[in-house]
Amino acid sequence: MNIDPRKLPFLIAVISLPSVAVYLGAGEALRVSEKPSEYIGLIFSILAASLFATVSILGDPGNLIRGGWRTAWEGAKGVQFRLMRLTYLFVLYMAVLFLLVVTEVIEAKCLTGLYWVHGVFAWLSIAAFIMSMWLPFEIKNIQVSRLEQEISYRKAARAKRDEQRRREEARQDRTSD
What is the DSSP code (8-state) at residue 167?
H
Specify burial of residue 103 (Cβ count, 10 A radius: 0-12, 13-18, 19+): buried
At residue 89, does pLDDT exceed 90? yes
User: Does a structural domain hold residue 8?
Assistant: no
User: Does a structural domain hold residue 116?
Assistant: yes
Domain with 112, as residue range(s), is: 14-176
- Tens-place pLDDT, residues 135-174: 888 888 888 887 887 788 888 889 989 999 999 888 888 8
pTM of the model: 0.77
How many domains are contained in the chain? 1
User: Does a structural domain hold residue 5?
Assistant: no
User: Does a structural domain hold residue 2?
Assistant: no
Other CB atoms within a 10 A radius of the CB of residue 122 amount to 26
- Tens-place pLDDT, residues 1-43: 677 888 889 999 999 999 999 999 999 999 999 899 999 999 9
User: Does a structural domain hold residue 119?
Assistant: yes
User: Does a structural domain hold residue 49?
Assistant: yes
User: Does a structural domain hold residue 4?
Assistant: no
Predicted local distance difference test score (pLDDT) of residue 150: 79
